[in-house]
A and B are shown apart, each in its own frame.
Chain A
């Protein structure tokens, strides 16, 4: 189970010696500023996270009600990316495992949702979402068992096979899963209470687009709340221990394999929920929506945002959603025709990724956090020097 830990030679050794210090810097700081002496937030983790959750909920409502319908639909898009990216950042940032198969796990969630909503009398939506999460968790557990035995590039390879292979099942079981054209999803109508709520909050018309955006936001907040608690708990600390020093962790009595499987399972559950929300928002579960590109997009999102940071995952997802239309419109304004403008978007995304990697190798959140800590340490040192 162990791995060479010398800091000089092998590539895997290099990876593990660098990961705790720099690339996952975003994962290591405690959440929501608990360590700062002067904080307006309570020191109890659960209470603090609940408060932040409440604040975020208010921000979400303000955001959704102050923007137009199209932005609402973009925020719905953001929510499913962020839910899945949040799970992936826990896996990669906290536990040090790389997965290229999260797109396929999202497909499991999406197809489950589509199949359950197809019934004559579909189950209530929360139940359907829960079933989607559970089923994806099960698939995640199976993959996780294999993942626990693999490291770095080998794990990436195994999950890559998942990403390439799983959508093929939809083609193989054509009668049942709809083949290439997929299953159309009938998103349930908003409950009447929702109309009342929107009428009370803002008086805007409660469209279906808005309902889906709220649904996404609720799922996102719940997921991030649970993940944040998990990351701050004994579980999160154990994951970090497994990531940073396998030998030390094992000496401390930690079963590396079991904890890796757990990380994969938690992460898969998030991907399942993300996929379920995707199916509702896109109204379709089709293999062409879950290609390798989706898995890679999630990975780039968490790398740009900062590995291990939920806020970073949100940031990276926002880039995925808002950058392409922004660049396309910018290109069109600059006089490119629509085709050229569309081709500009993937190019700019690539450039952004390269620039972030050069100037902020720990991702946006990680780099900001590193700077902040360096600055504080320097100030503390100079204060100590004066004293």
Chain B
């Protein structure tokens, strides 16, 4: 044996020993269980006095304005909830991570949340393409995937494929149907043009609208997210003679379409879907894009939109007042915004779900609890959720309102519907007032 090959043997031997040593550090998983009188560490992410919840949001990058405020609302709600004793004596530990609205990053940060932080559940993951990347993973790992922040049908349509995933907000197709019926009833002579984001968002919305006013639509123009020149689309709508434009677009494209229309001297009646209509954000975007030439959202005055949740434009609403109190007491810097209200409302539903899952929740128990009781929960949303064993779709109802300055006037009662051929009906219930301290009091349905 030569000297060098002896050395090689030694290295290989060392490596073998190292791998054998490494082999001794085996892994272990969590164990289920529930019931009993005391708090137990009943599942991964649950200890005697804490529940760990994770989320992914765009905190940096192009999608960050607006959306990055949502988790601050969630955090404020959970902080106030923890001050009042949390859920069954457990504090909620909320971890949210940045995916910059890039699915590759979403996959990485959700891996981190599930495998390293070992959260009990994911809540409010934002975005259709981003959350799609982790849908399979979360369901394969059996991690509850609550209340995805997007109106895609993907989250709730097929519970047998994705048993752990739940939608939350009104899906885009139902929204399209409600908008379509409203136009058919109130603007029967309007020549309608559609301004659509070129993905499932615009596609589902268009499908819903066409069910009611297919013959009134004179043009449908699509924009590709990322391309900021929407001049051709708006000009095409104008050329087609559309005097009523419905936009299924994100806030930045609301601002862009307004600026282009201003330049073209085009003044149709605007109707922006819920996603693209936040006046505060659109106002600041308008100011930004026009480099100060347009200073606020006054361009949006008179535009129509839909709402499924009370916003800062309704300061008299009891829920908004309660959320204002929570933001003042437990929130960080800045004002209460619609995005923060959205986050708090989602956190409220999460608290309901955790209460319903019993004293010692398990991941499967949480899913069972939402399927069993979720459709009865009362909360800040105008209409109830559609949760059942056959559907994981979120709330089903909206009302149409008109933006006037910083407030909104409601134009219709709350209307509820569902995917496909389901009729649109008037919701006969009233919005329940918030419980004391906005902390839900839901009975366990699992133990």
If A40-B7, A65-B22, A282-B107 touch, does A288 touch B130 (CB 8 Å cutoff)?
Answer: yes
Residue B428 at the chain A interface, CB threshold 8 Å: no
Give complex CA distance A68, B22 in Å: 11
CB A348 to nearest CB in B, in angstroms, measures 12
Chain B stretch 29-67: residues in CB contact (< 8 A) with chain A? 29, 59-60
> Which residues of B are found within 8 Å of A184, using beta-carbon distances?
132-133, 135-136
Give complex CA distance A74, B112 in Å: 9
Query: Are A282 and B104 in contact, with the CB atoms below 8 A?
Result: yes
Chain A stretch 300-342: residues in CB contact (< 8 A) with chain B? 321, 325, 328, 337-339, 342
CB A199 to nearest CB in B, in angstroms, measures 10
A-B contacts, CB under 8 A, total: 153
Give complex CA distance A328, B133 in Å: 22
The number of chain A residues touching the other chain, given as a range, is 35 or more
Query: Are A283 and B129 in contact, with the CB atoms below 8 A?
Result: no
Query: Chain B: how many interface residues by the 8 Å CB criterion?
Result: 56
Residue B265 at the chain A interface, CB threshold 8 Å: no
Query: Are A345 and B132 in contact, with the CB atoms below 8 A?
Result: no
In the complex formed, the residue of B with least CB distance to A347 is: B60
> Which residues of B are found within 8 Å of A204, using beta-carbon distances?
23, 26-27
User: When each residue 42-75 of chain A gets 1 if its CB lies under 8 Å from chain B and 0 otherwise, what string results?
Assistant: 0000000001000100110110011011100110
Query: Are A65 and B23 in contact, with the CB atoms below 8 A?
Result: yes
Interface of B is mostly: helix
Give complex CA distance A209, B27 in Å: 14
CB A165 to nearest CB in B, in angstroms, measures 12
Give complex CA distance A182, B23 in Å: 39
User: When each residue 100-119 of chain B gets 1 if its CB lies under 8 Å from chain A and 0 otherwise, what string results?
Assistant: 01111001110110011000
> Which residues of A are found within 8 Å of B198, using beta-carbon distances?
171, 174, 179-180
Interface centre among A41, A74, A186 (most CB of B within 10 A): A74
In the complex, which of the residues B11, B60, B68, B137 contacts A283, with contact meaning CB atoms closer than 8 Å?
A: B137
CB B162 to nearest CB in A, in angstroms, measures 11
CB A288 to nearest CB in B, in angstroms, measures 5
One of B90-98, B233-241, B294-302, B338-346 at the interface: B90-98
CB B173 to nearest CB in A, in angstroms, measures 15
Query: Are B111 and A284 in contact, with the CB atoms below 8 A?
Result: no
User: When each residue 64-102 of chain B gets 1 if its CB lies under 8 Å from chain A and 0 otherwise, what string results?
Assistant: 000010011001000000000000000000011110011
CB A169 to nearest CB in B, in angstroms, measures 11
CB A190 to nearest CB in B, in angstroms, measures 12
> Which residues of B are found within 8 Å of A271, using beta-carbon distances?
none
In the complex, which of the residues B112, B140, B225 contacts A325, with contact meaning CB atoms closer than 8 Å?
A: B112
> Which residues of A are found within 8 Å of B97, using beta-carbon distances?
328, 338, 342
Residue B25 at the chain A interface, CB threshold 8 Å: yes
CB B130 to nearest CB in A, in angstroms, measures 7
Give complex CA distance A283, B129 in Å: 11
In the complex, which of the residues B12, B104, B111, B199 contacts A70, with contact meaning CB atoms closer than 8 Å?
A: B111
If A68-B115, A70-B112, A208-B140 touch, does A202 touch B22 (CB 8 Å cutoff)?
Answer: yes
Residue A201 at the chain B interface, CB threshold 8 Å: yes
If A180-B198, A293-B102, A328-B98 touch, does A73 touch B108 (CB 8 Å cutoff)?
Answer: yes
Query: Are A202 and B23 in contact, with the CB atoms below 8 A?
Result: yes
Interface of A is mostly: helix
Residue A291 at the chain B interface, CB threshold 8 Å: yes
Query: Are B102 and A181 in contact, with the CB atoms below 8 A?
Result: no
Give complex CA distance A287, B102 in Å: 9
Residue B243 at the chain A interface, CB threshold 8 Å: no
CB A186 to nearest CB in B, in angstroms, measures 7
In the complex, which of the residues A203, A205, A321, A325 contacts B23, with contact meaning CB atoms closer than 8 Å?
A: A203
CB B99 to nearest CB in A, in angstroms, measures 9
Give complex CA distance A15, B137 in Å: 47
Give complex CA distance A207, B300 in Å: 52
CB B293 to nearest CB in A, in angstroms, measures 29
Query: Are B112 and A39 in contact, with the CB atoms below 8 A?
Result: no
CB B126 to nearest CB in A, in angstroms, measures 13
Residue A257 at the chain B interface, CB threshold 8 Å: no
> Which residues of B are found within 8 Å of A205, using beta-carbon distances?
27, 29
In the complex formed, the residue of B with least CB distance to A40 is: B4
Query: Are B136 and A181 in contact, with the CB atoms below 8 A?
Result: no
User: When each residue 268-307 of chain A gets 1 if its CB lies under 8 Å from chain B and 0 otherwise, what string results?
Assistant: 0000000000100111101111010110000000000000
Residue B174 at the chain A interface, CB threshold 8 Å: no
CB B45 to nearest CB in A, in angstroms, measures 14
Interface centre among B8, B15, B111, B130 (most CB of A within 10 A): B111
Starting from the known contacts A70-B115, A73-B112, A179-B198, 9 additional A-B residue pairs (CB-CB under 8 Å) come to A68-B116, A70-B112, A174-B199, A184-B135, A184-B136, A282-B107, A286-B132, A343-B98, A345-B60
Question: What are 9 pairs between A and B in contact, CB < 8 Å?
Answer: A68-B27, A179-B198, A179-B199, A181-B128, A202-B19, A202-B22, A203-B23, A291-B102, A343-B59
